[in-house]
Amino acid sequence: MKHVLLTGANGFVGKVLLETLLAAGYRVSCASTAPHPSPRADFEQIKLDIRDAMACVAALERTKPTHIIHLAAISHVPTSFRDPLLTWNTNVLGSLNLLEAIKQQASDAFVVFASSSEVYGEAFKAGIALDENSPCLPMNPYAASKLAAELAFEQYFKQGIRGVIVRPFNHIGVGQSPDFVTASFARQIALIECGKQAPIMQVGNLEACRDFLDVHDVCAAYLQLLEFSEVQTYPRIFNVASGHACKIREVLDELISQSSASISVELDPQRLRPSDIPVAAGNCDRIHDVLSWQPKISLKETLALLLAEWRLRVVTER
C-alpha cells in the first residue's frame, strides 16, 4: 500500500491534504509537533520537531513511507521578519534533517517539497505571470529560506533522491489563520454582522493583485504530483497557480457583496508590508500540460465558504 508521511499535518494545508490523501486510498502518517486536534483511527500520528535531526531519522525508520509530502515550515512572512533564526532553522535545517533521514531510511521514497511562489520576489515586478524558469529574487526571510531549502532538495535529487518542488501561489480557504488577508476580511465581516466590531473594516494594500487558489485545488495538485513516483523522468519544479491575478479590492468587494451589513473600509498602515509587490501571478502551463491539473473551484465559491466558516467561528470568539 502507498504510505505517505505528511509533515506539517496540523497546518492549514495539512488538514485538507490529509483528507485528500485518505480519500485517494493512501495510508497516511501525520507528523506534527502537537497531537492532531481530531485524532481518528484512519491515520497514524507521529510527534516530530523537524529541527531535531535524530527525531527525523527515527520517524522515517518507524514509518518507512513510500511517499513524503513536506509541508512543515514557518509559513508566515511577518513572523519570518520577527524571528529569522526560527524561520531558517525550521525551513532550511529542518528540510535538511528530513532529507538526510530520507537518504538513510527511505531512499526509494518520493518526496514533494512545498516551497512557495514567494521565491520569485522581485521578479514579479516584471508584471507578467511568471513561469518556473523565472529568476528567484526573494524579498523576505521566509522566501529566502524556502529558496535555500529548494537548493538543498535539488542537491539531494542530484544524489538520487526522487521528488519534486512545488511553488504554490496564494492558497486560501476554510481553516486559514486570520493573519492572511482573505481570512482577515471574512472574520471582520462576520464580527461586524454580529455586532462585535464597528462597521469599519481595517485593510492593507487593496491595489495589490494576487493569484488566489482554493486550498482544495492546491491539494489536488499535490496528490497528482505523487503520480511521478511511477515514472523515471519528470520536471523538478512546478508552479501551482491559477494564472490570473485578482486585485485584493475585488476580493473585498466580493466578500462585502455576500453580506447584508453596511460596511466601510479604513486603511490600517500596520497591514502594509515594507516591500509589497503590485502584481504576483503564476504561469501554470507546466502542471497543466504534464498532469492536466487546473483549478476547479471559483474564487466566489471559496469566499462564500470562508465567510460561512467565520460566521460560525466568531460566535464563540471573545
Contact 56, 100 (CB under 8 A): yes
User: How many CB atoms are located within 10 Å of the residue 278 CB?
Assistant: 13
Report the residue from 4, 30, 46, 50 that binds ligand A2R according to the rule CB under 6 A. 50
Judged by CB under 6 A, the number of residues near ligand A2R is: 23
Query: Cα separation of 122 and 115, whole Å?
Result: 17
Cell numbers representing residue 137 in the block:
529574487
Which 111-140 positions form the footprint of ligand A2R (CB under 6 A)?
114, 116
Q: Among residues 33, 257, 264, 298, which is the contact residue for ligand A2R, using CB under 6 A?
A: 33
List the one residue from 4, 5, 6, 10 that touches ligand A2R (CB under 6 A). Answer: 10
Stretch near ligand A2R under the rule CB under 6 A, chosen from 12-20, 155-163, 252-260, 289-297:
12-20
Least Å from the CB of residue 73 to ligand A2R? 3
Interaction pattern, residues 55-84, with ligand A2R; x per rule: CB under 6 A:
----------------xxxxx---------
Show contacts with ligand A2R in window 137-176 (CB under 6 A): 168
Give me the least distance between CB of 58 and ligand A2R, in Å please.
14
State the Cα–Cα distance between residues 203 and 136, nearest whole angstrom. 29
- Closest-CA residue to 24 (of 43, 37, 51, 10): 43
Least distance (Å) between residue 17 CB and ligand A2R: 8
Q: Would you say the C-alpha torsion 29, 33, 36, 39 has a positive or negative sign?
A: positive
| Nearer CB in complex with ligand A2R: 105/201 | 105
Query: Nearer Cβ to ligand A2R, position 72 or 189?
Result: 72
Q: How far apart are CA 98 and CA 109, in angstroms?
A: 12
Number of residues assigned to the chain: 318
Identify any residues that bridge with 279 across adjacent strands, giving them in sequence order: 209
Task: Cite the DSSP H helix spans in 117-180.
Answer: 141-158
Query: How far is residue 107's CA from residue 99's CA, in Å, rounded to a whole number?
Result: 9
Q: In angstroms, what is the minimal distance from the CB of 10 to ligand A2R?
A: 4
Q: Which residues bind ligand A2R (CB under 6 A)?
A: 8, 10-14, 32-34, 48-51, 71-75, 90, 94, 114, 116, 168
